[in-house]
Structure 1
Amino acid sequence: MPLFWTIDSRRQFFTVTCDGKVDLADVKEMVDALVGANGLPYRKLFDGTRGCTDMSEQEMLGIGVRMRELHVLQRDHGALAVVLPDDKYEQISRVLGILAAAKRPMRVFKDGDKARKWLDSPPIRGSLPPLEPAEASSEASA
């Protein structure tokens, strides 16, 4: 599996790292995990610096359409930071354009540390929905 993710409900943070060749099934599985964990409002970091793909343009657009459908179903979407080297930007630019249409903060970075700092900045963290009472009490006891 070339996609590795962590869903941190306490920090409301979803992190994805690519390592190898990513195909459509991998992306669908990742999105299903995010939706299943009710993580759409979380801040998201997608690091594609070590990944590659040979997905067709049609498959890439399908990913964008799926994400757009999720934006219609649930209005609250957390900030998204995408980390890519210049040579991979063109390959997924249409998907990035579709993702940018959502009403949420989004930026593309070349450096993962800068992306994390942006996602952890007060304006971005301040846009997170409040934790549910059960999550808040478990966070207080940790």
Structure 2
Amino acid sequence: MPIEFTIDHEKRFVHARVLGVITLKDIEEFTDRVVAQDALTYRKLFDASKGDGTYTDEDVMALAARAAAYATLAKRGPLALIPRPGVGAELAKRYINLGKFTGEARIFDGADEALAWLEAQAKPPASET
């Protein structure tokens, strides 16, 4: 599969990287595995900055519908997306919009910024410390 990923149950963190060209089927398989391993509520970093996709507008709609359906299963953990520059960023925006993410998904230009945001999401707010 052109998506390499690890699920760290202790840290409640999923790290995925796109290696090559991905299709809708690849993303569906990845998300199904995340759900099957009970990691939907974990923080997730999806780095597609070095990959490419072969999907249509209909594919993006189907994937977003799947994401919205997952939201009915459990509260989804924060998602940091690092799209490939150009068209990838536009697709990421549409995915977040259509997938009914409520503030817990953001788009980043690089891994350092994305990881810092995800790390901040793991800490309780100052009022709870």
TM tier relative to shorter chain: 0.7 to 0.9
Could you state the TM-score of these two structures normalised by the residue count of structure 1?
A: 0.80
Q: How does 1:1-142 map to 2 (within 5 A)?
A: 1-74=1-74, 76-87=75-86, 88-99=88-99, 101-121=100-120, 124-126=121-123
Cα contact 1:13–1:42 (8 A) shared by 2: yes
> Quick one: which amino acid aligns to residue 69 of structure 2?
E
2: CA distance, partners of 1:102 / 1:90:
16
State the identity as a percent: 27
Shift, 1:86, TM fit = 3.3
Could you state the TM-score of these two structures normalised by the residue count of structure 2?
A: 0.87
Cα contact 2:96–2:105 (8 A) shared by 1: no
> Quick one: which amino acid aligns to residue 31 of structure 1?
T
Cα contact 2:13–2:42 (8 A) shared by 1: yes
RMSD: 1.5
Q: Which runs of 5+ in 2 are unaligned?
A: 125-129
2: CA distance, partners of 1:15 / 1:104:
19
Which stretch shifts more, 77-86 or 111-120?
Answer: 77-86
TM-aligned CA distance change 1:116 to 1:92, over 3 Å? closer
> Quick one: which amino acid aligns to residue 55 of structure 1?
Y
Bigger Rg, which one: 1
Higher helix share: 1
TM-aligned CA distance change 1:103 to 1:96, over 3 Å? closer
> Quick one: which amino acid aligns to residue 108 of structure 1?
I
User: 1:49-83 CA deviation, whole Å, 9 max, x = no partner?
Assistant: 01111211111110000010010222x21111111
